[in-house]
């Protein structure tokens, strides 16, 4: 039980970091960490299939696409008027 | 071939066509791919039309087939339900998509993946109209959605990417709420097929009922979003006006109606659907007025058409809401639902023809601005149109849209207004009828002769396939007007759950209200004169529309959910 | 039990508020991903409460978790990633066209192009 | 104006938060009928030990088809945007990742480390991908997951080897992709002619207890997913603009 709460609060903190960070690359890394943590939680929750999918698709493919997108745009999240 | 494999043909045949085109694209050159696209057209659109033709007897006899995909003998499988409603929805899609495909051959998006995405969308539309499973509805809506985003963004202008992006984020977010709703319903009822949900939901009480209603609200609103009912209409204008013409025609004509009618299976099963119906009737009435007011002050041709789509879907939603309120199983309710769907047909045919003709015209003239675009007939003649077919078809579509005889729109709209006359929201619809004429008179200005020299875009040609697609749609509109009585009887009969003879007959003939139409035209004429005067123009200048931001989009979404939830729970 | 649900609810809500309030379009897509992750976590977490063994029918399995949410979530995860891939591609195209990731700036710059 | 927008945003979040709060926090007991049914009958119905696979490719295979379609369309759309980007301007950074050896600058991101690790790891990852794909009916995994692992194996090979192998050629990959999509459609339609309906197991009556249809679907979906994601990733790294 404590384990679930621990992982979930870590996910929540990383989620807030993802949105608050000014460097989009850091956000992407936090997002893939969220995926890895979710995969861990799914393994604990006895959902191995979902864990594999989340690790492969969430942490793998989507990170690649995000990094590609950021490389073709800009890394900084700056406010313009 | 038995009936339960035949009615799935509109799903798997387009997919087969898509896969064939994809294979041809990967393995062979340009000419072979073109040949395979033609083959795909035959397999993916013409064969399903034959399948529907073969099924007409079955739907007339009210044979409704409930089948489980993959022939599993349990409720765990995905249920598909074939009846008059899904038959008509697939027919509606085929009627519009065949001419649109023909049009796209010459004018449409030039990417060689267009046909693949197009056929996947055909399959998704058919699957959405047939499915009777909550999670499968989610998947079908996502397929429909993602094909729409890709098709909208396939225009070469960058503003289409913005429109597509806005639409994507808005509807993808709503789909997450849909998923949450599915979670709630599965948790309460332990099942995902509509029938099992309804069965379980009837025995609920207390907290569980609240949870089930809330989940249902999330699902219903997220699905209605695709139909762009007020206040969920913000995304439509950008997406439908920036897309390539063929795509606009398909999206505006067909795709906004499919989720609306697919939802009826779910609404039928629900406790308290009368209240949902009541809310929807008013939402429809309001959206018809809001849409047409925004259209009046718009001076870009395709945006005007898109706003008018919001207004016209308002008619459909209003009647649909009244049908749900009355109860589909009653005679009156079935009649109302039939008329709502019939008006959906009218709008689909006329609006797609309008998008095609107006799109071509603005391309030839090189401007979309209705204040500048003039002299379209001469310009089109320069581009190789000896008979002004584009103009004639435009006029037919406009007549149908503004409810003038002898088109299907005239019959459809008058019947609709006659049937809905007991409800207060019908007054909103009547106001809209007059204003529609005003809005479309602005469009017709394009065809006035120009005093200035024409700057014709040399790259545009009105080709034979384009003419064929206009002619097909225009013929359907006229034929619909002449054989309206029969069409209505057929439609209401197969939608009616009652046994034959009773359902489907109303003693109303639209020509008896010709005087009313004249009055509407008179009112509209006064409005036109008013809008030409300087002070009205000055007064209404601030009203001309601008793009809506995400805050407004989601505010509308939250309002819809809040209102619907409050309505159901208290 | 209630704490876990509240945590998931908060994750969902911050994802949603990012979509509504953030101006950076890539941040909006982050928000969408977070919302999706929250729903997936919720489904799996609740579905695993009725059992203690993975849903693979080996010998000695008597008390497995509900496999239905797991199968549904496989689909939902993939659909979520596909949608965010497409939206990222659109975001890149918008950036190339306007040189900005700010939704207001993009809207303003593209408004002139009709 | 700004205050109005802010209050709208706050109101939106408040209303929606209130609406979903009961759904998320609900304490209703989770239904067990489906689980119990699957526990008893999944093996007999589909032949698969892994009940998730039994649902994913058996009972609810239609959802999986939809998911594959979403992936297909999404990658199609992404690729067409990618190609247009390449047409507008050759991106300088993309050249650094370019797979053609003669274009490689010395200081590129392709260090010796990446080359050695990726080229040695590639085949092993491929093998693992095939394992996950083929044993999806018994152990966790399946076509989709295996396909994604295959894709990463292919990408490793593309990064690691200077030689152009057939496996990293996007034309070959997209041929495999389109063929496997065609086979997927043929496999799902074949049931129509064997009286088990659309997406029915065409050989169900012959061998009742064999998961062969699930294995077949796993292989086809795995190849489809693996090749299409690999094509997209290679294109994203600037590998091929001639697609």
Q: What is the pLDDT of residues D27-85, one digit of tens each?
A: 888 888 888 888 887 777 777 788 888 888 888 888 999 999 999 999 989 988 888 77
Q: What percent of chain A has pLDDT over 70?
A: 96
Mean pLDDT of A10-36: 92
- Of residues D27 and A10, more confidence is placed in A10
Range of the domain at C1: 1-53+62-113
Please name the member of A51, A60, A64 whose beta carbon is closest to the beta carbon of D236: A64
Please name the member of B5, B181, B561 whose beta carbon is closest to the beta carbon of D192: B5
Top residue of D232, D236, D237, D238 to mutate, by most chain A CBs within 10 Å, is D236
- Of residues B391 and C61, more confidence is placed in B391
Checking if the pLDDT of D7 tops 50, the result is: yes
For B235-262, write each residue's pLDDT tens digit. 888 888 888 989 999 999 899 999 998 8
d(Cα B289, Cα B363) in Å, to the nearest integer?
Answer: 29
Residue C7 has a pLDDT of 92
The residues that bridge with B355 in the sheet, in sequence order, are none
- Show which residues on chain A lie within 8 Å of chain D, measured between beta carbons: 48-49, 51-53, 56-57, 60-61, 64-65, 68, 71-72
d(Cα A44, Cα C54) in Å, to the nearest integer?
Answer: 10
Q: Nearest chain D residue to C46 by CA: give it.
A: D30
Distance from chain centroid for Cα D122: 18
Q: What are phi and psi of B387, to 5 degrees?
A: -90, 135
Cβ pairs B/D, distance under 8 A: 201
For B370-384, write each residue's pLDDT tens digit. 777 777 777 777 777
- The answer to whether chain B touches chain C by having 3 or more C-beta pairs less than 8 angstroms apart is yes
| Structure confidence at residue B500 as a pLDDT band (50, 70, 90) | very low
Is residue B442 within 8 A of residue B304, CB to CB? The reply is yes
Checking if the pLDDT of B505 tops 60, the result is: no
Whose tokens are 């999986």? That residue is D64
Q: What percent of chain B has pLDDT over 90?
A: 18
Determine, for residues B72 and D59 on separate chains, whether the beta-carbon distance falls below 8 Å. yes
Mean pLDDT of B299-328: 88
Determine, for residues A70 and C26 on separate chains, whether the beta-carbon distance falls below 8 Å. yes
Range of the domain at A57: 2-71
Residue A7 has a pLDDT of 92
Determine, for residues B139 and D33 on separate chains, whether the beta-carbon distance falls below 8 Å. no
Q: What percent of chain D has pLDDT over 70?
A: 78
Checking if the pLDDT of D198 tops 90, the result is: no
Top residue of D35, D148, D228 to mutate, by most chain C CBs within 10 Å, is D35
Tell which residue, D127, D131, D119, has the closest CA to residue D165. Answer: D119
Please name the member of B162, B169, B369 whose beta carbon is closest to the beta carbon of C32: B169
d(Cα D211, Cα A8) in Å, to the nearest integer?
Answer: 37
The answer to whether D108 faces chain C, any CB pair under 8 Å, is no
Checking if the pLDDT of C114 tops 60, the result is: no
The nearest CA of chain D is from the CA of B158 a distance in Å of 11
- Of residues B204 and C67, more confidence is placed in C67
Is residue B246 within 8 A of residue B109, CB to CB? The reply is yes
Please name the member of D25, D50, D75 whose beta carbon is closest to the beta carbon of C5: D25
- Of residues C1 and B246, more confidence is placed in B246
Is residue D151 within 8 A of residue D229, CB to CB? The reply is yes
Residue B435 has a pLDDT of 85
Residue D93 has a pLDDT of 45
Q: Per residue, what are the HEC states of B472-522? A: HHHHHHHHHHHCHHHHHHHHHHHHCCCCCCCCCCCCCCHHHHHHHHHHHHH
Residue D30 has a pLDDT of 85
d(Cα B125, Cα B249) in Å, to the nearest integer?
Answer: 15
| Structure confidence at residue D210 as a pLDDT band (50, 70, 90) | low
Chain B residues in contact with C83 (beta carbon < 8 A): 142, 146, 168, 172
d(Cα B212, Cα B329) in Å, to the nearest integer?
Answer: 23
Number of residues assigned to chain A: 81
For D93-134, write each residue's pLDDT tens digit. 444 444 454 444 444 556 677 778 888 888 899 999 999 888
Distance from chain centroid for Cα B9: 22
Distances D168 to C34, D164, D230 between C-alpha atoms, Å: 33, 7, 8
DSSP B449: P
Please name the member of D30, D52, D144 whose beta carbon is closest to the beta carbon of C49: D30
Checking if the pLDDT of C20 tops 70, the result is: yes
Chain C residues in contact with A61 (beta carbon < 8 A): 81, 85
Chain B residues in contact with C86 (beta carbon < 8 A): 146, 149-150, 168
* Least reliable range by pLDDT among B389-393, B528-532, C41-45, D69-73: B528-532
Checking if the pLDDT of B508 tops 60, the result is: yes
- The overall pTM is greater than 0.90: yes
Chains interfacing with B (3 or more CB pairs < 8 Å): C, D
Give chain B's mean pLDDT: 84
Q: Nearest chain D residue to B137 by CA: give it.
A: D63
Interface predicted TM-score (ipTM) of this complex, two decimals: 0.92
Q: Nearest chain D residue to C78 by CA: give it.
A: D67
b (16+ CB within 10 A) / e for B226-240: bbbbbbbbbbbbbbb
Chains interfacing with C (3 or more CB pairs < 8 Å): A, B, D
Checking if the pLDDT of A81 tops 70, the result is: no
Neighbours of B486 (CB within 10 A): 9
Count of domains forming chain C: 1
- Of residues B53 and B2, more confidence is placed in B53
Residue B567 has a pLDDT of 84
Count of domains forming chain A: 1
| Structure confidence at residue D209 as a pLDDT band (50, 70, 90) | low
Q: Nearest chain B residue to D65 by CA: give it.
A: B139
Residue B497 has a pLDDT of 64
Distances A38 to B237, B291, D17, D54, D159 between C-alpha atoms, Å: 38, 44, 23, 23, 29
Residue D87 has a pLDDT of 60
Distances B120 to B14, B17, B113, B140, D28 between C-alpha atoms, Å: 7, 9, 11, 11, 39
Is residue B397 within 8 A of residue B474, CB to CB? The reply is yes
Chain B residues in contact with C72 (beta carbon < 8 A): 135, 182
Q: Nearest chain D residue to A43 by CA: give it.
A: D140
Is residue D171 within 8 A of residue D85, CB to CB? The reply is no
SS3 content of chain D, % helix, strand, coil (to 5): 70, 0, 25
d(Cα B108, Cα D13) in Å, to the nearest integer?
Answer: 40
| Structure confidence at residue B93 as a pLDDT band (50, 70, 90) | very high
Q: A6 CB contacts (<8 Å, ≥6 apart)?
A: none
Chain C residues in contact with D25 (beta carbon < 8 A): 2, 5-6, 9
Is residue D232 within 8 A of residue D77, CB to CB? The reply is no
> Residue C66 is part of a domain; what is its CATH number?
1.10.287.3510
Checking if the pLDDT of B355 tops 50, the result is: yes
d(Cα C76, Cα D66) in Å, to the nearest integer?
Answer: 11
Q: What are phi and psi of B98, to 5 degrees?
A: -65, -50
Tell which residue, B232, B393, B229, B248, has the closest CA to residue B312. Answer: B229
d(Cα B302, Cα C63) in Å, to the nearest integer?
Answer: 60
Please name the member of C7, C31, C77 whose beta carbon is closest to the beta carbon of A8: C7
Chains interfacing with A (3 or more CB pairs < 8 Å): C, D
For B258-275, write each residue's pLDDT tens digit. 999 888 888 877 766 778
The nearest CA of chain D is from the CA of C48 a distance in Å of 9
Residue D105 has a pLDDT of 45
- Per DSSP bridges, beta strands B65-68 and B79-82 are antiparallel
The nearest CA of chain D is from the CA of B517 a distance in Å of 42
Mean pLDDT of B322-343: 83
Q: What percent of chain C has pLDDT over 70?
A: 97
Please name the member of A49, A57, A60 whose beta carbon is closest to the beta carbon of D52: A49
Mean pLDDT of B52-78: 80
The nearest CA of chain C is from the CA of A63 a distance in Å of 10
Mean pLDDT of D136-160: 85
Residues 68-107 of C with CB under 8 A from A: 70-71, 73-74, 77-78, 81, 84-85, 88-89, 91-92, 95-96, 100-102, 105
For C76-91, write each residue's pLDDT tens digit. 999 999 999 999 999 9
Tell which residue, B73, B74, B91, has the closest CA to residue B82. Answer: B91
Mean pLDDT of B180-196: 87
d(Cα D70, Cα B139) in Å, to the nearest integer?
Answer: 9
Distances B346 to B83, B179, B335, B356, B482 between C-alpha atoms, Å: 21, 33, 16, 16, 13
Tell which residue, B401, B417, B402, B431, has the closest CA to residue B506. Answer: B417
Q: What are phi and psi of B259, to 5 degrees?
A: -60, -35
Q: Helix, strand, or coil here: B461?
A: coil
Q: B535 CB contacts (<8 Å, ≥6 apart)?
A: none
d(Cα B90, Cα B14) in Å, to the nearest integer?
Answer: 12
Q: Nearest chain D residue to B23 by CA: give it.
A: D178
- Of residues B14 and B540, more confidence is placed in B14
* Least reliable range by pLDDT among A5-9, B178-182, B375-379, D233-237: B375-379
Q: Report yes or no on A77 lying in a domain.
A: no
| Structure confidence at residue B178 as a pLDDT band (50, 70, 90) | very high
């Amino acid at each position: 039980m404590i384990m679930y709460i621990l992982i979930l609060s870590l996910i929540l903190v990383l989620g807030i970091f993802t949105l608050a960070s000014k460097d989009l690359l850091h956000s992407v890394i936090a997002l893939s960490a969220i995926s890895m943590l979710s995969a861990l939680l799914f393994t604990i929750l006895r959902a191995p299939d979902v864990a594999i999918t989340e690790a492969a698709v969430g942490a793998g493919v989507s990170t690649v696409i995000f990094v590609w997108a950021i490389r073709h745009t800009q890394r900084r999240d700056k406010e313009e008027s | 071939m038995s009936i339960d494999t035949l009615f799935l043909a509109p799903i798997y045949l387009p997919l087969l066509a898509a896969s064939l085109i994809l294979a041809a694209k990967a393995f062979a050159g340009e000419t072979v791919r073109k040949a395979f696209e033609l083959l795909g057209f035959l397999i993916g659109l013409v064969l399903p039309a034959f399948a529907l033709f073969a099924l007409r007897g079955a739907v007339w006899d009210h044979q409704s087939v409930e089948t489980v995909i993959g022939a599993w003998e349990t409720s765990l499988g995905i249920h598909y339900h074939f009846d008059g409603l899904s038959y008509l929805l697939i027919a509606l899609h085929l009627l519009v998509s065949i001419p649109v495909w023909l049009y796209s051959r010459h004018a449409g998006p030039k990417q060689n993946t267009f046909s693949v995405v197009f056929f996947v969308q055909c399959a998704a539309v058919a699957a959405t109209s047939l499915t009777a499973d909550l999670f499968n509805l989610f998947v079908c809506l996502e397929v429909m959605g993602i094909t729409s985003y890709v098709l909208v963004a396939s225009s070469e202008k960058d503003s289409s990417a913005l429109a597509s992006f806005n639409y994507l984020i808005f509807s993808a977010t709503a789909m997450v709420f849909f998923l949450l709703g599915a979670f709630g319903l599965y948790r309460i009822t332990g099942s995902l097929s509509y029938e099992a949900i309804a069965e379980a939901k009837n025995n609920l009480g207390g907290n569980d009922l609240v949870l089930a209603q809330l989940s249902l609200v999330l699902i219903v609103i997220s699905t209605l979003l695709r139909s762009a009912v007020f206040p969920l209409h913000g995304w439509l204008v950008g997406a439908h006006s920036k897309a390539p013409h063929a795509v606009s025609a398909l999206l505006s004509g067909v795709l906004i109606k499919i989720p609306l009618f697919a939802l009826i299976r779910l609404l039928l099963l629900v406790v308290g659907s009368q209240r949902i119906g009541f809310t929807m009737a008013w939402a429809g009435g309001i959206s018809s007025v809001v849409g047409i007011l925004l259209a009046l002050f718009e001076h870009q041709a395709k945006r005007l058409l898109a706003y008018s789509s919001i207004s016209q879907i308002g008619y459909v939603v209003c009647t649909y809401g009244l049908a749900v309120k009355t109860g589909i199983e009653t005679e009156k309710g079935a009649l109302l639902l039939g008329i709502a769907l019939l008006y959906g047909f009218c709008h689909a045919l006329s609006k797609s023809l309008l998008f095609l003709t107006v799109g071509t015209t603005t391309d030839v003239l090189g401007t979309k601005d209705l204040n500048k675009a003039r002299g379209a007939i001469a310009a089109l003649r320069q581009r190789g149109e000896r008979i002004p077919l584009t103009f004639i078809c435009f006029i037919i579509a406009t007549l149908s849209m503004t409810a003038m005889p002898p088109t299907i729109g005239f019959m459809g709209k008058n019947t609709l207004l006659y049937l809905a006359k007991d409800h207060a929201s019908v007054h909103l619809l009547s106001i809209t009828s007059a204003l529609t004429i005003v809005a479309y008179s602005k469009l017709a200005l394009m065809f006035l002769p120009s005093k200035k020299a024409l700057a014709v875009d040399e790259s545009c040609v009105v080709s034979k396939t384009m003419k064929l697609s206009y002619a097909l749609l225009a013929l359907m509109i006229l034929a619909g007007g002449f054989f309206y009585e029969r069409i209505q009887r057929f439609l209401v009969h197969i939608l009616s759950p009652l046994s034959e003879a009773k359902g489907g007959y109303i003693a109303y003939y639209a020509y008896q209200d010709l005087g009313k139409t004249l009055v509407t035209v008179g009112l509209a004429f006064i409005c036109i004169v008013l809008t030409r005067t300087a002070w009205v123009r000055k007064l209404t200048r601030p009203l001309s529309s601008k793009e809506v931001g995400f805050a407004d989009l989601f505010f509308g979404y939250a309002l819809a959910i809040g209102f619907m939830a409050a309505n159901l729970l208290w | 039990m209630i704490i876990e649900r509240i945590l998931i609810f908060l994750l969902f809500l911050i994802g949603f508020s990012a979509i509504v309030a953030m101006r950076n379009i890539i941040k909006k897509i982050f928000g969408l991903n977070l919302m999706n992750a929250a729903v997936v976590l919720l489904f799996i977490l609740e579905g695993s409460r009725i059992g203690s063994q993975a849903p693979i029918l080996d010998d000695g399995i008597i008390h497995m978790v509900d496999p239905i949410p797991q199968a549904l979530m496989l689909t939902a995860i993939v659909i979520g990633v596909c949608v965010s891939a497409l939206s990222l591609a659109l975001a890149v195209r918008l950036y190339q066209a306007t040189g900005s990731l700010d939704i207001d700036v993009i809207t303003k710059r593209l408004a002139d192009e009709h | 104006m700004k205050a109005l927008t802010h209050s709208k945003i706050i109101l939106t979040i408040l209303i929606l938060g209130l609406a979903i709060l009961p759904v998320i926090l609900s304490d209703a007991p989770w239904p067990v009928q489906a689980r119990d049914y699957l526990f008893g009958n999944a093996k007999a119905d589909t032949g698969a030990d892994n009940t998730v696979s039994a649902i994913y490719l058996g009972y609810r295979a239609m959802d999986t088809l939809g998911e594959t379609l979403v992936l297909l369309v999404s990658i199609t759309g992404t690729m067409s945007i990618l190609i247009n980007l390449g047409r507008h301007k050759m991106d300088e950074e993309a050249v650094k990742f370019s797979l053609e050896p003669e274009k490689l600058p010395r200081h590129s991101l392709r260090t010796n480390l990446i080359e050695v690790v990726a080229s040695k790891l590639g085949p092993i990852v491929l093998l693992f991908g095939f394992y996950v794909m083929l044993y999806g009916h018994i152990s966790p995994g399946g076509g989709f997951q295996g396909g994604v692992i295959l894709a990463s194996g292919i990408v490793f090979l593309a990064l690691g080897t200077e030689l152009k192998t057939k496996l990293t050629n996007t034309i070959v990959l997209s041929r495999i992709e389109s063929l496997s999509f065609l086979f997927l459609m043929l496999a799902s339609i074949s049931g129509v002619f064997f009286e088990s309906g659309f997406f029915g197991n065409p050989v169900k009556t012959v061998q009742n207890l064999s998961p062969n249809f699930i294995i077949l679907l796993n292989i086809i979906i795995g190849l489809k997913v693996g090749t299409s994601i690999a094509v997209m990733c290679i294109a994203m790294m600037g590998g091929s603009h001639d697609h």
